[in-house]
Homo-oligomer: A and B are copies of this chain.
């Protein structure tokens, strides 16, 4: 059975072509796409796709822990199918979002304060290594 069919069934979600495509897209394009990017890309092969379906599906997948949404870029949500805890770096020069494979060691302290943590978001903003290099060369 298809990997994505299985994932949906395991979570008690109905299996529809749209959901399979969105799941697969996220799994194959780990670049934190926006809902609109997902919509535009999938519309190419499925012209009747509706933007509402993309939003609904992303929300459902999120509720079942299958995707994770980032607010790092401010105006729009971005989606990530990497469920393992990790941080993100937003380059203010090139706009790319880089995965940073670290966990937050502070979470335990917060839980010690009596709060229950469901999500941990670690964002860094600045200029990435590759843009810094370009800037330096330009200044010569």
User: Shortest CB–CB separation between residue A64 and chain B, in angstroms?
Assistant: 16
Q: A89 and B106: CB pair below 8 A?
A: no
Considering the complex, give the chain B residue whose CB is closest to the CB of A125. B119
Interface size (A, Cβ < 8 Å)?
37
Q: B118 and A125: CB pair below 8 A?
A: yes
A100-113 vs B: 1/0 string, CB under 8 Å? 10101111011001
User: Shortest CB–CB separation between residue A75 and chain B, in angstroms?
Assistant: 9
Q: A117 and B106: CB pair below 8 A?
A: no
Instruction: Decide: A110 near B129, CB < 8 A? Known: A71-B71, A71-B74, A115-B89.
Output: no
Q: A92 and B118: CB pair below 8 A?
A: yes
Q: Which residues from 103 to 140 on chain A have a C-beta closer than 8 Å to any C-beta of chain B? A: 104-107, 109-110, 113-129, 132
This protein's copies in its complex: 2
User: Once bound together, how far apart are the Cα atoms of A121 and B109, in whole Å?
Assistant: 17
Q: A106 and B125: CB pair below 8 A?
A: no
Considering the complex, give the chain B residue whose CB is closest to the CB of A70. B71
User: Once bound together, how far apart are the Cα atoms of A109 and B115, in whole Å?
Assistant: 27
Considering the complex, give the chain B residue whose CB is closest to the CB of A130. B114
Could you jot down 6 A-B contacts, CB within 8 Å?
A: A104-B104, A115-B124, A115-B126, A118-B125, A118-B127, A122-B123
List of 4 A-B pairs having minimum Cβ-Cβ separation, nearest first = A114-B129, A71-B71, A121-B123, A119-B125
